[in-house]
Structure 1
Amino acid sequence: MSLDEDVVVTNACIKRIKALQVKTGKENLKLRLSVEGGGCSGFTYTFTMEDGPVEDDDKVYGREGAQVVVDEGSLEFVRGSTVDFTEDMMRSAFAVVSNPLSESACGCGSSFAIKNFEKNPAID
């Protein structure tokens, strides 16, 4: 477990995690960000809420009791990114914004292509 700033967590994201902690009565509830192969641009951001312990290879970001957890493999695709919570007339959702490793993204922002994929392929 690590607490550093490879991933920036916005105030809106912190506020939403804390609101979900209160709503569920689970003060250890945390947001997990994962990257999976697939989606219209090659890779997909996946967000889940978890109440269990963090794994040994997890990196933890956040403050004020709100945590965003990223596994080591996914971190290689989101290092330097910002995790936000956005709300508009159509939806409200956690989102990865300003990913410096992303070359392009789909219209909804849930999938992306990484820069120089040929030089940095996904490793199974």
Structure 2
Amino acid sequence: MKISITPKAKQFISRMIRMCGGTKSSGMRLIVGEGGCSGFATDFSIVEEPLQSDTTWEDGVRLFIPKECLPFFEEAIVHFIETPTETRLIVLSGRKNNNSCGCSSLPPDHSNG
């Protein structure tokens, strides 16, 4: 499994861990579930340790990914967007095209984002 985490996403994840009182063993648990315009939506929580069935990915920050979500994260890019009108963490899956939509999902035929 290969995941890329952008510098802005690393800063956001680190900030969230600090704000939640996390320690060096804490990380962000990223979950992909049903929802969104392509049938997928992402959610996250800050946790002290991964669940036994989670896969841990470390690249400056720790991500805990549930086993059932692993296929979505293959070749994924975790990115953070912050503008005057929105703030969100998105996961762009390498299994889909390079477009994303506002619900953090990647529709197969969504050409306008």
Aligned partner of 2:82: which letter? E
1:43 counterpart = 2:36: no
CA pair 106-68 structure 1, distance change in 2 beyond 3 A: same
Secondary structure of 1:75's counterpart equals helix
CA–CA distance in structure 1, aligned partners of residues 55 and 64 of structure 2: 6
Gaps of 5+ in 1: 116-124
CA–CA distance in structure 2, aligned partners of residues 49 and 24 of structure 1: 7
* TM-score, scaled to structure 2: 0.76
- Residue aligning to 1:19: 15
* Residue of structure 1 aligned with 2:105, choices 99, 106, 111: 111
* TM-score, scaled to structure 1: 0.70
**What is the root-mean-square deviation of aligned Cα atoms in Å?**
2.5
- Which string of whole-angstrom CA distances, capped at 9 and with x for unpartnered residues, describes residues 35-75 of structure 1? 11232211222222223x212221112334x2111112111
* Residue of structure 1 aligned with 2:75, choices 80, 84, 87: 80
CA–CA distance in structure 1, aligned partners of residues 80 and 96 of structure 2: 19
Report the Cα offset of residue 25 of structure 1: 2.7
Q: Is the 8 A contact 2:22 2:47 kept in 1?
A: no
Gaps of 5+ in 2: none
Q: Is the 8 A contact 1:34 1:70 kept in 2?
A: yes
Secondary structure of 1:49's counterpart equals strand
CA–CA distance in structure 2, aligned partners of residues 67 and 54 of structure 1: 9
CA pair 13-50 structure 1, distance change in 2 beyond 3 A: same
Q: How many residues align?
A: 108
Q: How does 1:53-72 map to 2 (within 5 A)?
A: 53-64=49-60, 66-72=61-67
